[in-house]
Structure 1
Amino acid sequence: MEKRTNQLIIFTAGTGMFLSTLDTGIINVALPTLVRAFDSSISMMTWTITLYTLALVSTIIIFGRIGDKLGRLRVYTSGLIVFFIASIACGLAISPIMLILSRALQGIGAAMLQSTAAAIISAAIPKKEQGAAFGTLGMLIGLGPVLGPAIGGLLLSIGSWRWIFWINIPFIIFGLLGCRYITKRIQETKNSIPINWTGNIFFALTSFALLWSISVFSEKGFWSMSVIGAFLCFIVFLLGFLGWERKAAQPILDLKQWKKSAFILPIAGIFVLGGSTSLGFIIPPYFLEEVIHLLPWQIGLINLSAPLGLMVFSNISGGLINKKGTGRLMIYGLVLMTSSYTVLTMMQSSWPLFYLIMLLFVFGAGAGNFMPANTSAIMNAASEEIQGVSGAIQRMVQNLGIAIYAAVASAFISGYSETDITGLMSGIRGAWTFAAVTLLIVFIAFLYGYRSRKY
C-alpha cells in the first residue's frame, strides 16, 4: 500500500509539471493557426506565450511561500483548479485579448503547480527513494515537450484549435483525483512563518519588469525606449526589494542560503540548463526550415531529439542518485551538454542531419543526468520549512534562463540572417557559442566545488 501511495504521489505531482511543458509545446505549434483564426498578427499571438511566462515567473515564489505555510497539496490542488478554469477559458476565447488574458491565468495556475510539485515529493517520499522519484519527475517534464508538438499537430489536423487547450482536462481530473487520495493518507508539515507580502510584491514586480524588458528587447532591440524604461523599472524594483529584504524579519530569499555552495551552484546550473535547453528548441527549426528546407512534420520529429534524451536519461539518473551522489551526476550531465554544444559551435550548412540529431540527443542525455540530481541537491540544501520556496526558486530560475537565452538567440539570428545563408549560419553558431561558453563556466565552477567538497 505504501509503495502504491508513493507512486501516486510522484505521478500526481508530475502531472502539473507535465501539463505546463505540454502546453508550451502545443501553443508553439498552434501560433500560425491562431493568427489565421483571429485574423491577427504573429506579434500579437506571441503574447500568449510571453504573458504566460510573465505570470508564472512573477508569482511562483509567492505560491511557494504560501504552500510552505498553508500546505503544498492545498496550493497544488488549487493550481489544478485554476489551470482547469483557464484551459476552458482559452478554448472558449472569441478574441486575441481574451485568449492572452486566459493564458496569463493559466500561467498563474502553472506557478501554483510548479512551486509545490518538488516540495510535495521531498516532504512525502522517504529520502532513500527520492532520487528515483525526482528521476520520474524529470521524465514527466521531458515528456511534455515530446508529446506537445505531436498532440498539437494532430489536434490541429483533425479538429478545432480549441482542443489544444481542452486536451488538458483529463490530465487535470487525474491530478485532482490523485490529490484527493493523497490528502487522506499523508499528513503535511506546515510552518507558522508569516508571509512577507511586501517583499513578495516587490519580487513579483521585479521579475515582471525584467521579463518584460527581455520580451520587448527580442522584438525592438536594446535602445528602444520601451526596453530602457522596463529595464529602469527592473532596477528600481530590485533595489526596493533588496532594501526591504535586508530589514525583513522573514525574508523571501534568505541571503545566508545564497552563500552556500551546495545551494548556489545547483541554482546557477539550472539557470544555464534552462537557457541552453531553450536554444535546442529555437535554433534547429531555423536551420532545418531556412537552410535544409524540411517540411514542418519533419522538423518536429528532429526537434524531439533533445527532449527524448532528457526523458530517457532522467529516469536512469534518478535511480543512480543514492549510488553516485548528486554532485557527480550533475558533472556528468554538464560534460555531455558542454561537449555537444561545443561541437555545434562549428555547425555547417553541409552537415548531415544525423550529426544534428545525435548532438541534440547527447545534450538531452546530459540534461537528463543533470536535472533529477539538481532538484535533489536544491531540495536537500534547504530546511524543511522552506521546501516550497526552494522548489519555486528552482523553477523560477530555470524559466528566467529560458527567457534570457531565447532573447539572446533571437538577437544573434535576426542580427545575421538578413544577409544570406552564410549570415544565418554565423548567427546560429554565435548562439551555440554563447550557450557553450556559459555551460563551460558552470562546469568549471561545479568541478571546483566538487573537488573542494562544497556540495
Structure 2
Amino acid sequence: MSDGLPLPRRLFAIGALGCGSALVIIDGGIANVALPTIARDLGVASSAVVSIVTVYQVTLVMLLLPFSGMAERIGLKRTYQGGQIIFTLSTLLCFFAESFPFLLIVRTMQAIGAAGVLSVSSALIRHTYPTRQLGRGLGINAVIVTSAAAAAPTVGGLVLAVAPWPWVFACTIPLAIVSLILGRWLPDPPPRLTRLDLAGAIMCAAMFGLVIGGAESFVHGDSPVVSAAVVAAGATIGWFFVRRELGITAPILPVDLLARPIIALSAVGSLTAFMASMTVLVSTPFRLAALGFTPAQIGTCIAPWPLTNMVVAPLSGALSDRIPAGILGGIGMAVSLIALVLLATMPADAGILDVAWRMALCGSGFGLYLPPNSRLVVGSAPHHRAAAAGGLISTLRLTGQTIGATLVAALLAAGVGTGAVPPLVAAGLALIAGLCSIARLRPSVSSPAGFETPAEAPTLRPSR
C-alpha cells in the first residue's frame, strides 16, 4: 500500500478535504445567529426555533458511526462525495424554505450529508498524507475545523447585515462546488467486500438519538418522567447493541478498536476534553453578560481561544509525528487545567484583558492536546478500520460538545451557570483527560504493538 498520495495530487486532495470540512462546520453553526430572525419571519416561538440547531446535531451524532461502517464497504471517496452532494442540495433547499417544518426537514438532510463527510474525513487524511506527516495533517484539519466554527457566527452576522436569512445558508454553496471539483483527486482505497450490518446501524442511531434527545428534552423543561423514559429506552437499546457488537468482526460501534487500551484511553480523553471546552465556551458568555459585558466585548474576550488554537494545533500535530501523544497531551491538559482554575477564580471586576489572556491559555492547552490525540486513534487502527477510527473521533467530538452544552443548560437551570461552577466542572473534566493522556505512557499501553506498523509509532528525536 502506498504511503500517502504523490505530489501534486496530495495538494488537491488536501484542498478538497479542507473545503469540505469547513463547509459542514460553517453551515452547522452559521444558523445560530439567524435564529431570532427566522423565528420572526416564520412566526415560530423562540423556544421552538432552537430545533433548527438541535435536529442537526442529534442527526449528525446518530449517523456518524453507521456511515463510517458503510464507507468501509462502499468506499471512502464515494461516501465523502455523496455526502457533499446531499449537503449541497439540501443547503440549496434551505434557501427556498418558506415554512418551519420544511426547514427542519432540509436541516435533517443537511445533517445526513454532513455525516457522510465527517465520518470519513480522518480516514481520508490518513490515506492522503505520508505516515510521517499524519499528525501534521490532522493538526491542519483541526485548525480548519476550529477556524470554521469560530468564523460561522461572524459570517452569519455579516450576511444578515446585507441580506435576508435564507442567504445565511446559501452563502456556502460556492465552497461546496470547489470542494466537489477538487474531490476527484481524493484517495480512493478499495472497499471491503462485506455486508453492511443494517440492524446494528439502526440500533446505533437509536441509542445515540434517544439518549441525547431525552437528556436535551429534560434540560429544556419537558416532562422529567417522559425524558427519563426516553433516556432509559436509549440506554436499554445501547446495552443490547454493545453486546451484539462484541461478536461481530467489523462492528459499527468500534468495540474492536476500543479493546486496545491506547485507543480506549484516547477516546475517554477526547470525550472529556470536548465536554470541558464546550462547557466553558457556552457558559462564559452568560457569565460575562451577568458581569455587564456588552455582546461586542464578550466576542472580543472569547476570540483569543480559537485564535491561539489556530496557531498551536498545527504545531502540536507536527510535533506528534516525533513526540508521544501522552507527553503532549499531558502538558496540554496541565495548561488547560491551570487556565480553567484561573477563569473560575477571576475577580468580579475583571476587564476584557483579564478574560482574554485566560481564554488564550485555555485555547493553547486544548490545541496542544487534541491533534496528537486524534493522530494516535487514527494511527493505531489497522488500515481497513481507518474509517471506523475516523468516525469514532467525529462521534466523540460531537457527543462531547453536545453533552457539554446540555451540561451548561442544566447548570443554568440550577442557578449556578453564571459563576465559577462551569469552569470548575470543566477543570475536573480536563483533569480526567490529562490523566488518560499520561496513562498512555505506560509501556504496556504505548508499546509499538498498539500501532499497525512500527513506522506509525512516534519516537523522540533529539532536537538540533
- TM-score normalised by L of structure 2: 0.90
Residue among 430, 438, 441 paired with 1:447 = 438
Aligned counterparts, 1:35-114, within 5 A: 35-114=39-118
What are the Cα deviations for residues 362-399 of structure 1, in whole angstroms up to 9, with x where unaligned?
11112221222122111111111111111011111111
Does the aligned pair in 1 maintain the 2:84–2:180 contact within 8 Å?
yes
3-state SS in 2 of match to 1:350: coil
Does the aligned pair in 2 maintain the 1:83–1:110 contact within 8 Å?
yes
- How far 1:98 moved relative to its partner? 1.3
Partners of 1:229 and 1:187 in 2: how far apart? Answer: 44
Identity %: 23
Mean Cα deviation higher: 55-64 or 267-276: 267-276
Residue in 2 that maps onto 1:281 = 281
- How far 1:306 moved relative to its partner? 1.4
Mean Cα deviation higher: 386-395 or 238-247: 238-247
Residue among 146, 152, 159 paired with 2:150 = 146
Give the partner amino acid of 2:195. P
Give the partner amino acid of 1:236. T
Partners of 1:449 and 1:129 in 2: how far apart? Answer: 21
Does the aligned pair in 1 maintain the 2:283–2:417 contact within 8 Å?
no
Listed as ranges, the gaps of 5+ residues in structure 2 are: 447-464
Pair 1:31–1:301, CA change in 2 (3 A): farther
Residue in 1 that maps onto 2:235 = 235
Residue in 1 that maps onto 2:176 = 172
- How far 1:193 moved relative to its partner? 3.1
Listed as ranges, the gaps of 5+ residues in structure 1 are: 417-422
Pair 1:251–1:146, CA change in 2 (3 A): closer
Give the partner amino acid of 1:362. L
Give the partner amino acid of 1:205. A
Residue in 1 that maps onto 2:16 = 12
Residue in 1 that maps onto 2:217 = 216
Residue among 163, 166, 182 paired with 1:162 = 166
Does the aligned pair in 1 maintain the 2:339–2:359 contact within 8 Å?
yes
Pair 1:33–1:187, CA change in 2 (3 A): closer
Residue in 2 that maps onto 1:383 = 382
Pair 1:190–1:151, CA change in 2 (3 A): same
Aligned counterparts, 1:334-353, within 5 A: 334-353=333-352
- How far 1:451 moved relative to its partner? 4.1
- How far 1:424 moved relative to its partner? 5.8
Does the aligned pair in 1 maintain the 2:280–2:426 contact within 8 Å?
no
Give the partner amino acid of 2:375. S
3-state SS in 1 of match to 2:414: helix
Does the aligned pair in 2 maintain the 1:291–1:349 contact within 8 Å?
yes
Partners of 1:154 and 1:250 in 2: how far apart? Answer: 46
- How far 1:410 moved relative to its partner? 1.2
Residue among 136, 155, 158 paired with 1:132 = 136
Residue in 1 that maps onto 2:454 = none
Give the partner amino acid of 2:17. A
Aligned counterparts, 1:251-290, within 5 A: 251-290=251-290
Pair 1:356–1:230, CA change in 2 (3 A): same
Query: Does 2:388 align with 1:397?
Result: no
Mean Cα deviation higher: 285-294 or 207-216: 285-294
Partners of 2:6 and 2:228 in 1: how far apart? Answer: 55
Pair 1:265–1:123, CA change in 2 (3 A): same
Partners of 1:256 and 1:319 in 2: how far apart? Answer: 28
Does the aligned pair in 2 maintain the 1:196–1:250 contact within 8 Å?
no
Does the aligned pair in 2 maintain the 1:115–1:391 contact within 8 Å?
yes
- How far 1:146 moved relative to its partner? 2.1
Residue in 2 that maps onto 1:420 = none
- How far 1:217 moved relative to its partner? 1.8
- How far 1:106 moved relative to its partner? 0.9
Does the aligned pair in 2 maintain the 1:145–1:304 contact within 8 Å?
no
Give the partner amino acid of 1:335. A
3-state SS in 2 of match to 1:454: helix
What are the Cα deviations for residues 167-225 of structure 1, in whole angstroms up to 9, with x where unaligned?
11011011101112x15xx442322232211111111100110110121122117x612
Pair 1:401–1:268, CA change in 2 (3 A): same
Give the partner amino acid of 1:82. I
- TM-score normalised by L of structure 1: 0.92
Aligned counterparts, 1:279-318, within 5 A: 279-294=279-294, 296-318=295-317
Pair 1:302–1:58, CA change in 2 (3 A): same
Pair 1:273–1:15, CA change in 2 (3 A): farther
Mean Cα deviation higher: 262-271 or 350-359: 350-359
Partners of 1:367 and 1:5 in 2: how far apart? Answer: 32
3-state SS in 2 of match to 1:2: coil
Partners of 2:249 and 2:370 in 1: how far apart? Answer: 33
Residue in 2 that maps onto 1:419 = none
Does the aligned pair in 2 maintain the 1:44–1:96 contact within 8 Å?
no
3-state SS in 1 of match to 2:109: helix
Residue in 2 that maps onto 1:414 = 413
Pair 1:447–1:411, CA change in 2 (3 A): same
Does the aligned pair in 1 maintain the 2:270–2:433 contact within 8 Å?
no
- How far 1:52 moved relative to its partner? 0.3
3-state SS in 2 of match to 1:188: coil
Does the aligned pair in 2 maintain the 1:9–1:178 contact within 8 Å?
yes
Partners of 2:296 and 2:165 in 1: how far apart? Answer: 17
Partners of 1:212 and 1:24 in 2: how far apart? Answer: 18
3-state SS in 2 of match to 1:137: helix
Residue in 2 that maps onto 1:188 = 189
Residue among 416, 424, 438 paired with 1:433 = 424
